[in-house]
Chains A and B, each alone.
Chain A
Amino acid sequence: MKTNFKNLMAGAAICAMSSTSLAAEELVIFWAEWDPANFLQELVNEYEEVSGVEVIVETTPWSDFQTKAFTEFNARGDAYDMIVGDSQWLGAASTGGHYVDLTEFFAEHNLAEVMAPATVKYYAEYPGNSGSYWAVPAEGDAVGWSYRKDWFEDPAEMAAFNEKYGYDLAPPATWAELLDIAEFFHRPDEDRYGVAIYTDNSYDAMVMGVENAIFSYGADLGDFETYEVDGYINSPAAVQALEDYKRLYGYTPPGWAKTFFVENNQAITEGLTAMSMNYFAFFPALLNEATNPHAAHTGFFANPAGPTGAQFAALGGQGISVVSYSDKQEESMKFLEWFISDDVQKRWAELGGYTAHAKTLESDEFRNATPYNEAFYQTMFKVKDFWAVPEFAELLTSANQRLYPFIVGNEGTAQETMDALAADWEATFKKYGRTE
């Protein structure tokens, strides 16, 4: 009996050992299902060559990326070793203890300098200006615009446009021009429309779209230090921005009331609209003739400036964090060390990833690699983001509940909408003791 027991223990020990040694050869990174995740999979194949560790990029659709990530975090699961998480998750994931503190890693590799400043600020640091870092900026992203070059460069259109508006038709440099051009090309009887914007009220889709206007109009969502929102989100500039966003909605194709990246790309591929708002990361599909019949005639521009000359864009993109429940944190750190090296970042950009690596971003090679990289480069130095506090999901819910009926349902005025939203957000911040 006793020897039996001993054998059993030995067997169990061997099993345990072999399973850990097996496990060490595999790292799992969790991300949303989109092209950059496939590019990352190609990139990490090269890590296997160097280290023998196989890295798997596991994906889930955007629509349930947040749920999947947070059910796993909150269940304290170790299915994923690293996660390429959204910027607004930082607060929830760091205060909830889901992310490993990377402050030391940051200092050791001087990442605050190596990565572009905006990406460090929004993808890595929480709370703002605290000097605590939770993620390595991986995929820079922001909202940009694609447009139909052939429509814009048609001599007849150019002449007609100049006659009507008194200046030359070109990719818009300001929101006022954007509105003019959208109006100009909006011809429902020809089945041609002005513009495609985000209107999906789930998660952060429509909010990101509206943010593009709010930020460029020189307004802010609130004070990220004091959590004051009254006078920010309902300031005259923000109200004007919302009103103009609603005006843009008037130049969208019929029933453009529930749209996000897929629909906005389709607006271009199906030849519906002159311009379309989208994250840069979704632009690769617009370059290939197989997926976009108008690929040769598709151009790109950065989010235009507002009336005061301020020019910002809503931030997308993510940083890689190490999950604190993973039992392979050391391996993950080693991987991150490899990931941030100059060569790998360069390779990452070549494969199609939007590196946050300042040196690579600034290189001519990167800026000329695709028709939209230049616009991307310009945008990444003027981005702003949503609240990254742990209760961001509730803030998004209120924003969707207030903004959507105004933009799509034509309910109330812009001022009423923003006042109501300010009140909602104030109540939420009060509930969590951020303000008195």
Chain B
Amino acid sequence: MAGIRTRQEVFFNRAAIAGVMVALFIMLVPIYWITSTAFKPRNLATTIPPTVIFTPEISPFVKLFTKRSQLRDPVSQEIYDAAPWWEQMVFDGGQKVVRSNKGVVRRSGYGQRFVNSLIIAITSTFLAVSMGTLTAYGFSRFKVKGEDDWMFFILSTRMLPPVVVAIPMFLMYRLVGLHDTHIGLIILYTAFNLSFSVWLMKGFIDEIPREYEEAALVDGYTRMQAFFKIVLPEAMTGIAATAVFCFITAWNEYAFALIMTNRRAQTAPPFIPSQIGSGLPDWTVIAAGTFLFLLPVAIFTFLLRNHLLRGMSFGAIRK
């Protein structure tokens, strides 16, 4: 838009900036709201008018990680005073912390689910990206008859609605004992992400000039060595972007986790809604669980910002 600006143009530009600001505000308010709710005392979470200015506290996180039980009557002052600061926060909410027989504080399932999510997302990402990179290289550098058909086949497996796949997978996992195991979910997520990773990596590898490998081959490298020493380092950015996309997909997945896992391998997404559970929902706890869960994704989105377009279009559009 260089050159001489007319008055009209300046006006349009200002209007556009204003419009963008409004859009940005609308897009970010829900995220801001869930974040701020995660730091509110319970009685400020559901006020009208909404509470915007408040003293942040971490009681929602204390509650998120502990098992609590509803008190019918407030505790006596002595018990309250004798309790540690974090337990007082729970008392303030009309609840008490559940302890084991030996006095150990019982933790809620959130921590374990979070760890499960990490294990499953990281492992499946590693598998999907490594297999995907190899396959992408195969399709990129060698002639494969019916290449388009194979690529379509690979893509189509990604498009299946999870519940459609879950019905037979449930029966098969029951036969082989993979129900409610980490491996079971890792396999499903790997299969789900593999097609994506092939498509995206093929685009990245197509961009690496063949001449680099040709030169290496002439220098006496084997094809394998050329792949590992020349192509892989060149493709590193692409691999990192693909990995982050796969991680986010696996991290966010809900339907398979809901159906195929139970107590041992369940990930965080089906667990967070469970905080809605008893008599009256405590939105601050739900918000705290959501906030922690969204944090890695938000960070990754920033790291990925230059590859978002490419990833979201399955590598069709490069920039």
Contacts and interface: CB of A to CB of B under 8 A. Distances in A.
A and B touch in the complex (CB under 8 A): yes
Interface of A: 28, 30, 32-35, 38-39, 41-42, 45-46, 48-49, 54, 58-64, 67-68, 71-72, 74-77, 79-80, 261-262, 265-266, 269, 282, 284-291, 352, 370
B205 to A, nearest CB: 40
Nearest to B179: A75
A59 B281 contact: no
A377 B273 CA distance: 33
B101 A48 contact: yes
B67 interface: yes
Contacts of A58: 109, 263
A290 B174 contact: no
A32 B264 contact: no
Contact of A28 (B69, B94, B263): B263
A282 B101 CA distance: 26
Given A35-B279, A61-B274, A71 B70 contact: no
Contacts of A291: 70, 93-94, 279-280
Given A79-B262, A285-B280, A291-B70, A48 B100 contact: yes
B255 to A, nearest CB: 11
Contacts of A71: 170, 179, 259-260, 262
B276 A262 contact: yes
Contact of A288 (B73, B99, B260, B278): B73
The SS class assigned to the A binding surface is helix
A39 B69 contact: yes
A72 B262 contact: yes
Given A42-B98, A48-B101, A284 B263 contact: no
Given A42-B98, A61-B274, A285 B69 contact: no
Given A35-B278, A61-B274, A285-B280, A290 B72 contact: no
18 contacts: A33-B277, A33-B278, A38-B278, A39-B69, A41-B69, A45-B101, A46-B101, A58-B109, A60-B274, A62-B277, A64-B270, A64-B274, A71-B262, A72-B180, A75-B179, A75-B180, A282-B279, A288-B73
A252 B199 CA distance: 54
Contacts of B277: 32-34, 59, 61-62
Contacts of A287: 72-73
Contacts of B94: 285, 288-291
A360 to B, nearest CB: 18
A74 B174 contact: yes
B71 interface: yes
A30 B266 CA distance: 15
A290 B93 contact: yes
Interface of B: 67-74, 92-94, 98-101, 106, 109, 170, 173-174, 179-180, 258-260, 262-264, 270, 273-274, 276-281
Contacts of B179: 71-72, 75, 77
B104 to A, nearest CB: 10
Contacts of B278: 33-35, 38, 282, 285
Contacts of A38: 67-70, 98, 278
Nearest to A60: B274
Contacts of B270: 64
B72 A370 contact: yes
A54 B100 contact: yes
B98 A79 contact: no
B319 to A, nearest CB: 41
B279 A285 contact: yes
A54 B104 CA distance: 12
Contacts of B258: 64, 67
Nearest to B178: A75
Nearest to A52: B101
B131 to A, nearest CB: 27
Nearest to B184: A75
B90 to A, nearest CB: 11
Contacts of B276: 61, 63, 262
Determine which residue in B180, B270, B277 has the highest number of CB atoms from chain A within 10 A of its CB, and name it.
Answer: B277
Nearest to A28: B263
B159 to A, nearest CB: 25
Contacts of B264: 79
**3 nearest A-B residue pairs (beta carbon):** A290-B94, A33-B277, A38-B69
Nearest to B264: A79
B281 A290 contact: no
B146 to A, nearest CB: 38
Contacts of B70: 35, 38, 284-285, 288, 291, 352
B168 to A, nearest CB: 13
Contacts of A49: 101
A285 B277 CA distance: 13
A34 B173 CA distance: 31
A74 B106 CA distance: 30
B262 A68 contact: yes
B71 to A, nearest CB: 6
A77 B262 CA distance: 9
Contact of B280 (A30, A46, A266, A289): A266
A285 B278 CA distance: 9
A33 B70 CA distance: 12
Contact of B180 (A28, A67, A79, A370): A79
Nearest to B261: A71
Contacts of B259: 67, 71
A68 to B, nearest CB: 6
A399 to B, nearest CB: 23
A61 B273 contact: yes
B69 A288 contact: no
A28 B278 CA distance: 20
A282 B280 CA distance: 9
A221 B106 CA distance: 43
B72 A352 contact: yes
Given A41-B98, A64-B258, A71-B262, A284 B174 contact: no
Contacts of A45: 99-101
Contacts of B262: 68, 71-72, 75, 77, 79
